[in-house]
Chains A and B, each alone.
Chain A
Amino acid sequence: MSVAEPATPGAVDASAAILVEKLNLWYGDFQALLDVDLRVRAGAITSLIGPSGCGKTTLLRSVNRINERLGYVRTTGSIRLWGLDVLDPSVEIAQLRKQVGMVFQRPNPLPLSVRDNVLFGTRVHLPDGRPPNRVEGDRIVEEALRQVLLWDELKDSLDRRGTELSLEQQQKLCIARLLPVKPRLLLMDEPCSALDPAGTEAVEELIWKLRGDYTILIVTHNMAQARRASEECVFMLLGEIIEHSDTASMFLNPANSQTAAYIEGRYG
């Protein structure tokens, strides 16, 4: 079974990109997620907010199964992407990660040229059964860099090392790097927190632009950012989801008093 296959029509709710049910996760003896139920609408930007340590990163990392690398993590429940269970033992991790791109808090371009950074995914996954040739490579690089609004800045310096760029450019490059293998879901863990205000604004603008083509789940500590840059908003507290609604109504009149307290900055 591959996650890429379209779900059987009718069998599942096609508008849900991610459907998490009764997800519990333990780091050793410590339970970090408690009975999490979450439905993320396909093609929308959903932001995940909550105080430090409430399990946002943990939830995000469960979706592409990177938590498993730590031997002491135990998970129960189900996570479905487009109707397919990603915790199923038959899921090929490489295919899953191809469909689910991840952006980190600290930009982490590879110590390769800008061009090779963008082409890395195609060299790992060989979408055409072979690495792209020079012409295809040029096309892929241009397309990806255009999508992340970096092409004009970098078109003459594709041989520069990705690690030498400014932080804002690095973060955009990290997003561009995901696109050539055509992921359907992008997970972003505080993608702007290492950037200055101008960089933050630029990356937010980019994320907003990617809306619709990709389903985006973004963790943020910045209330203004959640408000500006997302359509739905999920509030977590101590490993549980407290409230999930569309962003505008959550910020206008939150249903839950804890949500209200958090949004107003009373804790976290």
Chain B
Amino acid sequence: MFEATAQNRRNLKVEGLFRLLFLWMTCMLILPVALILGVLIVRGGPAISWEFLFTQPLNNMTAGGILPALVGTVWLVVVALIASVPVGVAAALYLSEYAPDNRLTRAINLAIINLAGVPSIVHALFGLGAFVIFFRFGTSILAASLTLAVMTLPVVIVATRESLQTVPLAFREACWNMGATRWQTIRKIVLPNSISGILTGVILEVSRTSGETAPIMFTGAAFFLPFLPQGVLDQTMAMSLHLFVISTQVPDVPEHMPFGVALVLISMVLAMNGISIAFRVYLRGRKKW
């Protein structure tokens, strides 16, 4: 009564086949990531040392460290965060909590999606025209960070809205029906229950910009500037541009150096991702409804 029929066996065979296929595709996906990391660690690992991280470049960037680029990237990301987070979060709050569902709102949503699709080189030219020239910030951390901020705004808005949407509508309705205004609802219920998601999402998105090269190339990043920036109106070196420069523009760079720079850059991004994911997991575990 319970033995397998021929049909069962055929099904099982097909089942196994598809399972194998999907597994294989998944491995194909992991392979490049593993390869990149492996190559970087093997070839760039020997370059990493205290001296490499914390000293100035020497001999036309063929020796010494990467300190100005490291510090510059941190500056760029932090200033970009400060510029884009308040604007993006406020816009997302408006769109998700206040805006009526009408044609204008839909047009704005469409614009946000399209803005996310603008190539970074176009943002670079926009930043050059707007921040460097029109607002007279010159080539500076400020101009470069604002360019990065504009570029990441759409993802900040989307990430924020996703977090806001995780707060069930029933909670908002409960508040409204008690006579709470939209703002009271946001402040007492919506934000406290989504702020962790918003922050982690936003940090994650903005930290990705640390690898961007094009938008900062014309607006604030210098090829070679062996000083640490003193303020937002200074130019600065940056990891991504430094990597580009020593890989393609400077002769006689020892081979392990660009790999070392790449390894440090990718570690920075992964570390930030790791922190924000850990943060998210921790907070998600705590909240229950």
The interface centre, meaning the residue of B101, B174, B181, B288 with most chain A CB atoms within 10 A of its CB, is B174
With contacts A71-B100, A123-B188, A161-B288 taken as known, whether A66 is within 8 angstroms of B176 at the C-beta atoms is: yes
Q: Which of B102, B177, B178 has the most CB of A within 10 A?
A: B178
Q: Is A69 an interface residue (CB 8 A)?
A: yes
Q: How far is the CA of A216 from the CA of B179 in the complex (A)?
A: 19
Q: Tell whether B54 is near chain A: CB-to-CB under 8 Å.
A: no
Asked if residues B287 and A98 are in contact (CB atoms below 8 Å), the reply is: no
Any A CB within 8 A of the CB of B282: no
A169 to nearest B CB, angstroms?
A: 15
Q: Say yes or no: B176 contacts A110, CB within 8 Å.
A: no
Q: Is the CB of B179 within 8 A of A108?
A: no
Number of interface residues of B (CB under 8 A): 21
Residues of B within 8 A of A69 (CB): 176
Q: Is A161 within 8 A of B178, CB to CB?
A: no
> For the side of the interface on A, what is the size category?
20 to 34
A94 located at the interface, meaning its Cβ lies under 8 Å from any Cβ of chain B in the complex: yes
Which A residues are in CB contact (< 8 Å) with B275? none
Given A111-B193, A161-B288, A161-B289 in contact, is the A124-B180 Cβ separation under 8 Å? yes
Contacts of A110 in B (CB 8 A): 171, 174-175, 189
16 additional contacts (CB under 8 A) given A94-B180, A124-B178: A66-B173, A66-B177, A71-B100, A71-B101, A94-B181, A96-B179, A97-B176, A106-B170, A108-B174, A110-B171, A110-B175, A110-B189, A111-B287, A121-B179, A164-B288, A174-B174
Supply 14 A–B pairs (Cβ within 8 Å), ascending by A: A66-B173, A97-B176, A98-B179, A101-B178, A104-B174, A108-B171, A110-B174, A111-B171, A111-B287, A112-B189, A124-B184, A163-B288, A163-B289, A181-B179
Nearest 5 CB-CB pairings of A with B: A97-B179, A94-B179, A163-B289, A108-B174, A124-B180
